[in-house]
A and B are shown apart, each in its own frame.
Chain A
Amino acid sequence: MGLVQYVGKRLGIYLAVILIGLSITFLLPRFMPASPIEAYISQMQSRANGTITPEAIEQMRANLEQLYGLKGDLLTQYLNYMSRVLLRFDFGPSMSFYPQTVSTMILGALPWTLSLLLVSTVLAWLLGNLVGLVAGYFHTKRSASVLEFVGILLYPIPYYILAVSLILLLAYVIPIFPLSPTFPAGQMNLTKFGMVIYNSLLPAMTIVLAGFGWNILSMKALAVAATEEPYVTYARLKGTSNVTRMFSYVFRNAMLPQATALALSLGTVFNGAILTEILFSYPGIGLIMRTAAGAGDYNVLYGAIAISIIAVATAGLVIDLIYPLLDPRIRHR
């Protein structure tokens, strides 16, 4: 398999993931027992104390069906939905923040989510793999098993527990960080930027800790296997130092499956980021999603989900396209 086939195959998978993912988001609400339109109408009705006339309701229903793209048979709806999302990036207006469009809301939140995710995921990957590498390379030493123990202890802890415990420890017991983070709106300047960083440290720490444990365990297992390869023995006999062997021989090879694993686990990482945002009121896509779900703002909810799927798939694609740079065997075949 040459480089061209590799990229082609990967692009194919990318398109398939987006297509299947968007189809699921299209189909799911249509197979639900509850209809968002009826829910919205009854919400309006109760707000108006039941004074809306049946004719007005009928008109409202027609308007909403138009707005949600629920006109016509399933196939027409599907094609309309796909072309709106993929070609025009149009999810209609928000219900709660009318007439703001969903895409501007999401595009405003996306940089927040992406920067938090990017920084913390890269950190978690680097730190976890470094600790795992040391634990695996020196796996015969007793002190190395302490490092693995940290991984075992951290990995199974659920995300929300990590987040709540961190708030408990670092914002309440030892009040280093703000208990309820504030994120300044409007034009960025240096003070505001510093404030954002300070307020983002706790959420970022949660994501790093969550990814840390898995990376330690996985890297440790890979490094143990790599350490016993003949080429490492050869390097030792050649007289290379421990550090060279660890990084250029063991890590160089063990990092490849870890890069693939990162691309595969992005969906899970993203789940974590959403949860973190909600628990820390961080103004990203997750918070928008939660607010929209609470207010019954389905346009925003669907838009945020569609964007999440596209974003996660794209991030996976980017990692997989970087992969040939890491693995010369794909480049030189």
Chain B
Amino acid sequence: MTATTVSEPAGTARSASRDSWAWLINTRLAVGFVIVSIFTLGAFILPLFAPADPSVQSTYMKNMPLTAAHLLGTNSLGQDIFWLLVFSIRNSLILGGIVAVGVTIISTIVGLSAGFIGGNFEWFVMLVVDTFITIPLLPLLIMLGALIRANQAFLVLAIIIFGWAWAARTVRSMALSLREREFINMARFSGANTIQILAREIFPYVTAYMLVNFINTMLFAINTEATLAVIGVSRVEIPTLGSIVFWALNYNALFTGNYVWIIAPIVATIALFLGLFLLSTGFNQAFANRRGVL
């Protein structure tokens, strides 16, 4: 990254803090980080203190109002809405994380190899990538859901198989631009070997993209599962951000006056998605600034 720091005007705040982490901070990232941290910590620590498994029905009285014992009341199935929400967020985050790991591995391998090998191989890979992007995913998942309803692991696999293409496309375009960049030639002429170039020049670049892709894939995966749950073609007994809305809609939460049941997951989902999105664009912005692109 020497080329970018040299071209920077002297005396700016950024060049002074070149070796610290200050370059990473921007508003979007900060806001996103706070929101996602709260959700993640809450979703993984709170369940340790859960009084009962919230997915079990008829644990409590039905349709109770908001009290200290039940922060968000209970629903028409006798479940505590607050704990249901906490478990939903946790399950959705776990699902998103697993899918994102799988997609990141596949897309990085596919994208980098397509970008660096080039030629007919790249042409063929990009044809497959564009096909996977074009094919509408939801119909296929509805079909899979109808065939094998009760298998969460299979759903994760299916989302990975059909979700890697967008990420592979970004990684490949990054690889293309990287191929032309001066600083790699610079490093090579300065006597660095391939391993050093990979580790010191290419890897920092790639990790930035991988991180952003990882978060975007999490958004995609959580959204896809939730979508299937809302229309009732996934395993809706498992609390996720989608299944909680599915039950609320199915039991007409609006007409029975149990507004919290449907509004709480909506607010939580919007906050979580906004947080993840701000985190991803914040990282993007920070890395772009550091690269001197912006």
> Measuring CB to CB, which residues of chain A are less than 8 angstroms from any residue of chain B?
13, 16-17, 20-21, 24-25, 28-29, 32-34, 36, 152-153, 155-161, 164-165, 168, 172, 264, 266-268, 270-271, 274-275, 278-279, 289-290, 292-294, 296, 298, 301-302, 304-305, 308-309, 312-313, 316
Contact = CB atoms under 8 A, between A and B. Distances in A.
Contacts of B239: none
Interface in B179-231: 219, 222-223, 226-227, 230-231
B102 to A, nearest CB: 18
B277 A155 contact: yes
B236 to A, nearest CB: 13
Contacts of A32: 144, 147-148
A195 B116 CA distance: 56
14 contacts: A17-B130, A17-B134, A24-B140, A28-B144, A152-B277, A156-B277, A160-B230, A264-B130, A267-B134, A268-B137, A270-B138, A278-B231, A296-B146, A298-B146
B227 A160 contact: yes
Closest 8 pairs between A and B when the two form their complex, measured CB to CB? A156-B277, A293-B146, A271-B138, A156-B273, A270-B136, A305-B139, A160-B230, A20-B131
B167 interface: no
Contacts of B148: 32-34
Given A168-B254, A293-B142, A293-B145, A274 B136 contact: yes
Contacts of B276: 156
Contacts of A158: 222-223, 226-227, 269, 273
B242 A160 contact: yes
A271 to B, nearest CB: 4
Contacts of A275: 138, 227, 230-231
Given A32-B148, A160-B242, A266-B134, A279 B230 contact: yes
Contacts of B77: none
Given A32-B148, A164-B230, A275-B230, 13 more contacts: A28-B140, A29-B143, A156-B219, A156-B276, A158-B273, A160-B242, A160-B245, A172-B254, A268-B137, A271-B136, A293-B142, A294-B146, A296-B146
B142 A289 contact: yes
B274 interface: yes
B245 A21 contact: no
B147 A168 contact: no
B105 interface: no
A268 B139 CA distance: 11
A168 B265 CA distance: 13
B125 interface: no
Interface residues of B, number: 43
A301 B146 contact: yes
A21 B37 CA distance: 39
B172 to A, nearest CB: 14
Contacts, number: 134
Contacts of B146: 292-294, 296, 298, 301
A164 B233 contact: no
A72 B148 CA distance: 25
A290 B231 contact: yes
B131 A156 contact: no
B99 to A, nearest CB: 15
A32 B141 CA distance: 13
Contacts of B249: 164
A13 B124 CA distance: 10
A309 B222 CA distance: 24
B262 interface: yes
Interface string B264-294: 0010011001101110010000000000000
B133 to A, nearest CB: 6
Nearest to B143: A301
Contact of B274 (A25, A156, A289): A156
B135 interface: yes
A42 to B, nearest CB: 14
A312 B134 contact: yes
B161 to A, nearest CB: 9
Given A16-B131, A290-B142, A267 B136 contact: yes
A232 B210 CA distance: 35
A289 B139 contact: yes
A331 to B, nearest CB: 23
B147 A312 contact: no
Given A17-B134, A158-B227, A271-B137, A305 B143 contact: yes
B123 to A, nearest CB: 10
Contacts of B38: none
A291 to B, nearest CB: 11
Interface string B240-264: 0010010001000010000000110
